[in-house]
């Protein structure tokens, strides 16, 4: 399903977010993720590199996704990953194709760039599967961050089953060790 024409998708880098825009993002994240999301910031563990925002015809923010670009190591080989963070759509705007449009914008962004995979963690994989993502299960290593006071807690290692990927380049995904070389989205 396509997003209706009156919706505007805008890419913005995080260092340009302030004032009213910051408040709107915070409100949407709180609506979508509830009490578990920090009240004092617009990111959960780390600031994304940029975001896509979707506004409706009334200029109200109705969709959001954060993006993190980094290298990871899959079975000891480097892969370039575009991480999908906090994709959400306001309750009143769901089932209109906005989530799929955000994923389409991410994939379009990847065209011609040095990106091997889109990667995300999903409690509910249905939207992502409809958009060509596949569930994978890897033994992962990452930097653990205390969500509340933003301190490093150490290194985490476990098999993560909520991991989803979408190949962008020619590299193949394997079920081996994934070193995230940073925090867990």
| CATH classification of the domain holding 112 | 3.40.630.30
Give the mean pLDDT of 95-115: 95
Residue 28 resides in a domain: yes
φ/ψ bin of 138: left (φ > 0), alpha (ψ from -120 to 50), beta (otherwise): beta
Residue 1 resides in a domain: no
| Domain enclosing residue 152, as ranges | 8-183
For residue 1, the model assigns a pLDDT of 46
Residue 3 resides in a domain: no
Contacts of 109-114 spanning 24+ positions with Cβ under 8 A: 109/11, 109/67, 109/82, 110/82, 110/168, 114/80
For residue 150, the model assigns a pLDDT of 87
Q: How many CB atoms lie within 10 A of CB 89?
A: 24
**pLDDT for 172-183, tens place per residue?**
999 999 999 999
**pLDDT for 142-164, tens place per residue?**
999 987 788 999 999 999 889 99
Give the mean pLDDT of 12-20: 96
- Percent of residues, the chain, with pLDDT higher than 90: 82
């Amino acid at each position: 399903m396509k997003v209706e024409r009156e919706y505007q998708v805008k890419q913005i880098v995080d260092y340009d977010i302030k004032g009213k825009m910051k408040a709107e993002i915070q409100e949407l994240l709180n609506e979508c993720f509830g009490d578990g999301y920090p009240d004092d910031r617009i990111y959960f563990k780390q600031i994304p590199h940029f975001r896509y925002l979707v506004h409706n015809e009334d200029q109200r923010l109705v969709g959001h996704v954060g993006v993190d670009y980094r290298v990871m190591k899959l079975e000891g080989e480097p892969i370039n990953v575009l991480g999908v963070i906090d994709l959400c759509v306001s309750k009143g705007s769901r089932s209109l194709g906005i989530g799929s449009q955000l994923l389409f914008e991410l994939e379009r962004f990847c065209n011609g760039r040095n990106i091997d995979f889109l990667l995300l963690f999903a409690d509910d994989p249905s939207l992502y599967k409809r958009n060509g993502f596949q569930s994978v299960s890897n033994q992962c290593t990452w930097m653990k961050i205390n969500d509340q006071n933003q301190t490093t807690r150490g290194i985490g290692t476990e098999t993560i089953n909520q991991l989803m990927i979408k190949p962008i380049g020619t590299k193949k995904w394997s079920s081996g060790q994934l070193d995230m070389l940073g925090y867990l989205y």
